[in-house]
A and B are shown apart, each in its own frame.
Chain A
Amino acid sequence: MDLSQAYSMMMTDLGATLFLLIVAVSGLVLVVFDAFKPRHVATPWIAGLALSAGFVIEMMSIGAPEGLAWYDMMRTGGSAAFVNSLVLGSGALSIILTVPYLKKIGHNIGEVYAMILFATVGMLVLGAANNLVTVFVGLETMSICLYILTGFVRSESGSTESALKYFLLGAFSTGFFLYGIALIYGATGSMEFGAIRIAAEQSAGVMFWGGVSLLLVGFLFKVSAAPFHMWTPDVYQGAPTTITGFMSTASKAAAFAALVVVLWKALPAERWADVLAVFAVITMVIGNVIALSQQNIKRMLAYSSIAHAGYVLVGLASGSQAGYSGALFYLMVYTIMNIGAFGVLALLEWDGKEGSEQTLESLAGVGYRKPFLGWTMAVFMFSLSGFPPLAGFLGKWAVFAPAIDADLVWLAIIGVLTSAVSAYYYLRVLVVFFMKPEGENSPMAEHSFDIPRSSAAVLIACVVLLVVFGVTTFALDVTSGFFAADTVTQFLG
């Protein structure tokens, strides 16, 4: 290949990954900008506009056919564009919610926005990866930024504690992941998804399957599936609330998207159905049952997020086109619901008395004092527990129905039963919000606050999206188009 050809290829690839470039360069600009003008009003604007620009670009390329860029290291268009717009949208909404939150907790640090942008870069690389090295680079970029974001409230011991826990356990799981990649490379001689599949179909020995197992451990840690979930409650509880909303949605969506693509393109899925089904059962049962006994709402939502990872794993366990597309759809719905739920919790911290220690008692009667927050929270809780007119129901249907088609009826039954259990703790939040008298030491009784318009707009947008995706199925059609049978072959050739 001569030089001019290489240059023109580079320009094409830069165009195809323009969204990534915008976010990364804006992050670098923000770092310098914040060093010279600390706490400037423009900082969150730059971050938000960069993410929004990337979001618009990627939304427009969802319909584009799948392609490859950067010497087959990354995928563009199709499912990659879908996951990228999910991540970018989640980042943009989180930034809108984070601006008033940071001012309120008195840690208006400009680096937070740069870190959100860099974390988003990692997630974008992760969601668009076509090579295990790209997956690893994305995973690490994302994780390192998230460790910092978890612990940036240095004055609060819970925040630093959770950051340290997250860092140590995350570094440990990275070791598993890397060793898995090394073994797979040793067994197949390639790190590219399509080439791994070809090599594995010819001969797959102990080394290959050992590598895949370690790889799966790394992935299941990042998506907080049981039994690798132990970090989740502490980290979600200790992290600043809007950051929790960001990392529980975007990072999980990106990691799951990478896992879906690895299973779909690199590994003969049928062999993994049973393994994933077992993990799905453990995750759903542990997440839902332990969530029942939580008093702290953030911790309860952390266990609920473990349970939701289990539902997505049900979709993956079915190993079919419908299962994978259902999983992607579920991730989208889950992102909207959780951004909203954590957004409400962040607003309820407004009085500054309870901080992250919001228990069911301390929030008694909130629904009457702040009807807007009460009603939006009601929508998110009903959707999380899977009530029909909302998107949570369609999402659950999208992951459970393929499991039945794949003869995993027992798995679908366990999924439905555990999600029935989950209704108890989701609806208990509403009982506390609306049907309990305000306690004597309820902070809300003394402190009144105005809900920032930007935050209210985000919550309303989440509610509207949940209703729209709940009563229409076009998003499901879009995601199932990504995994049509003929798109596999183009990567095998």
Chain B
Amino acid sequence: MLSDFIPFFIQLGIAVGLSFTLLKAAALIGPKRDNVIKMTSYESGMDPIGSARERYSVKFYLVAMIFIVFDVEIVFLYPWAVSFDEFIAAGAGPGVMAVVLFFVIILAIGLVYDIKKGGLEFD
């Protein structure tokens, strides 16, 4: 039972070891040319000084929603595209194509709605 997990532990060891090594190596041998902007804390391009309760433009969320649309799309479409040859070989090409088209249409509706409502118009 536990021996099934040996590859997992090897992977875990490599992941932890590699990230630790890389971080440490970068800190030891990397050149350091600091300036003021580089040393400020990361705030997605906003000025980090000031009230945290500022009002953000709702556009940020609309862009994020469009991103989600494409993100979800690629997660499902990539494995589908890779294995589509096998579906054709099994004679399921048109049916699987129709299902995926339906999925893409639903996502496209979200995209059309977002654009039509001015989600990409920055002023």
Contact A3 B113 (CB under 8 A): no
Q: Is A31 an interface residue (CB 8 A)?
A: yes
Q: Mark B5-38, 1 if CB is under 8 A from A, else 0.
A: 0000000000000000000000000000000000
- Chain B min CB distance to A190 (Å): 22
Contact A28 B106 (CB under 8 A): yes
Q: Is B68 an interface residue (CB 8 A)?
A: no
- Chain B min CB distance to A10 (Å): 8
Contact B109 A28 (CB under 8 A): yes
- Chain A min CB distance to B85 (Å): 16
- Chain B min CB distance to A472 (Å): 44
Which residue in B90, B92, B95, B113 is a CB contact (below 8 Å) of A31?
B113
- Chain A min CB distance to B22 (Å): 36
Q: Is the interface of A mostly helix, strand, loop or mixed?
A: helix
The answer to whether A36 and B95 touch (CB under 8 A), given A3-B90, A28-B106, A28-B109, is no
Q: Is B116 an interface residue (CB 8 A)?
A: yes
A36 to B117, CA, bound (A): 9
Q: Is A35 an interface residue (CB 8 A)?
A: yes
Contact A7 B109 (CB under 8 A): no
The answer to whether A36 and B92 touch (CB under 8 A), given A28-B106, A31-B109, is no
Contact B112 A7 (CB under 8 A): no
Q: Mark A32-53, 1 if CB is under 8 A from B, else 0.
A: 1001100000000000000000
Q: Chain A residues near B109 (CB, 8 Å)?
A: 28, 31-32
Q: Chain B residues near A7 (CB, 8 Å)?
A: 95
Contact B116 A35 (CB under 8 A): yes
A28 to B90, CA, bound (A): 32
Q: Is B50 an interface residue (CB 8 A)?
A: no
Contact B91 A35 (CB under 8 A): no
Contact B92 A35 (CB under 8 A): no
- Chain B min CB distance to A341 (Å): 35
Which residue in A3, A28, A32 is a CB contact (below 8 Å) of B92?
A3
Contact B112 A3 (CB under 8 A): no
- Chain A min CB distance to B91 (Å): 6
- Chain B min CB distance to A148 (Å): 14
Contact A3 B95 (CB under 8 A): yes
- Chain A min CB distance to B69 (Å): 13
Q: Which residue of B lies closest to A7 (CB)?
A: B95
Q: Chain B residues near A32 (CB, 8 Å)?
A: 109, 112-113
Say which size band chain A's interface belongs to.
under 10
A32 to B109, CA, bound (A): 6
Contact B117 A35 (CB under 8 A): yes
Q: Chain B residues near A35 (CB, 8 Å)?
A: 112-113, 116-117
A133 to B113, CA, bound (A): 29
- Chain B min CB distance to A34 (Å): 8
A32 to B108, CA, bound (A): 10
Q: Chain B residues near A3 (CB, 8 Å)?
A: 90-92, 95
Q: Which residue of B lies closest to A35 (CB)?
A: B116
A7 to B109, CA, bound (A): 26
Q: Mark A11-47, 1 if CB is under 8 A from B, else 0.
A: 0000000000000000010011001100000000000
Q: Mark B69-109, 1 if CB is under 8 A from A, else 0.
A: 00000000000000000000011100100000000001001
Q: Chain B residues near A28 (CB, 8 Å)?
A: 106, 109
Q: Which residue of B lies closest to A24 (CB)?
A: B106
Q: Chain A residues near B117 (CB, 8 Å)?
A: 35
- Chain A min CB distance to B71 (Å): 19
Q: Chain B residues near A31 (CB, 8 Å)?
A: 109-110, 113
- Chain B min CB distance to A419 (Å): 46
Q: Chain A residues near B106 (CB, 8 Å)?
A: 28
A32 to B95, CA, bound (A): 26
Q: Which residue of B lies closest to A3 (CB)?
A: B92
A3 to B90, CA, bound (A): 8
Q: Chain A residues near B112 (CB, 8 Å)?
A: 32, 35
A32 to B106, CA, bound (A): 11
A32 to B117, CA, bound (A): 10
- Chain B min CB distance to A107 (Å): 16
A3 to B109, CA, bound (A): 30
Q: Chain A residues near B95 (CB, 8 Å)?
A: 3, 7
- Chain A min CB distance to B68 (Å): 14
Q: Which residue of A lies closest to B90 (CB)?
A: A3
A7 to B112, CA, bound (A): 31
A7 to B117, CA, bound (A): 38
- Chain B min CB distance to A56 (Å): 25
Q: Which residue of B lies closest to A29 (CB)?
A: B109
A142 to B6, CA, bound (A): 43
Q: Mark A137-152, 1 if CB is under 8 A from B, else 0.
A: 0000000000000000
A3 to B96, CA, bound (A): 11
- Chain B min CB distance to A11 (Å): 11
Q: Which residue of A lies closest to B115 (CB)?
A: A35
A178 to B92, CA, bound (A): 35
A177 to B113, CA, bound (A): 32
- Chain A min CB distance to B41 (Å): 28
Q: Residues of A at under 8 Å CB distance from B?
A: 3, 7, 28, 31-32, 35-36
Query: Ordered nearest first, which 3 A-B pairs have the shortest CB separation?
Result: A35-B116, A35-B113, A31-B113
Q: Residues of B at under 8 Å CB distance from A?
A: 90-92, 95, 106, 109-110, 112-113, 116-117
Q: A32-B109, A32-B112, A35-B117 are in contact. List 14 more A-B contacts (CB 8 A).
A: A3-B90, A3-B91, A3-B92, A3-B95, A7-B95, A28-B106, A28-B109, A31-B110, A31-B113, A32-B113, A35-B112, A35-B113, A35-B116, A36-B116
| A-B CB contact pairs (8 Å), 16 listed | A3-B90, A3-B91, A3-B92, A7-B95, A28-B106, A28-B109, A31-B109, A31-B110, A31-B113, A32-B109, A32-B112, A35-B112, A35-B113, A35-B116, A35-B117, A36-B116
